[in-house]
Amino acid sequence: MNDLRSSPNESTMALEEGWAAQQSPGFLLWNLENLWQREQRRALRPFGITPVQLLLLSGLAEKTIEQDSVSQVELARHCRTDPMMTSQVIRTLLRLRLIERTRHHRDKRAFTVCLTIEGHDIRRRAETAMRRVDEQFFAPLAKNIPAFTNALRLLAGERPRQRVQAASRNT
């Protein structure tokens, strides 16, 4: 039988090893993401859409500038979303009448999507609300926002737009 008084608990073990979950960059990033998502959902509530729905509406608006028709697969790739999840969200956006979907003119198995007039309007107004959320949420970073953004890109495996100081993995 284990004596609880003599066995180290997780926080004691973490401190003994010099690591505490609450201080790890991953935990802090996860916590920050939860706070940011809560603010996003609150800002989007008046528009009746979710953050991922806004992401797809915005991505669709961007892709439509580049090309006449956008397939659901192209939209998922552009927005870096799972194609199956994108398809489910597209169905919701169809019910909300924010997008229209038609068969692709060359590939009859695929669908193309486009924004409706109401979709354009909600996207534009929701993007304005989201811009305010970002400005307020990240305001404490002030002039460090570009470096923070580039560091996030680096961690995501992208090439940052500006040089980011990174420590060598050999040290």
Q: Between 1.10.10.10, 3.30.70.3270, 1.10.3720.10, 3.30.70.20, what CATH number should domain 24-155 receive?
A: 1.10.10.10
Supply φ then ψ for residue 27, to 5 degrees: -65, -45
**pLDDT tens across 130-140, in order?**
999 999 999 99
pLDDT at residue number 103:
82
Q: How much is the mean pLDDT over the chain?
A: 85
pTM: 0.76
Of the pLDDT bands very low, low, confident and very high (cuts 50, 70, 90), residue 23 is: confident
In Å, what is the CA distance from 37 to each residue of 40, 44, 160, 164?
Answer: 5, 10, 24, 26
- Give the residue extent of every domain in the chain: 24-155
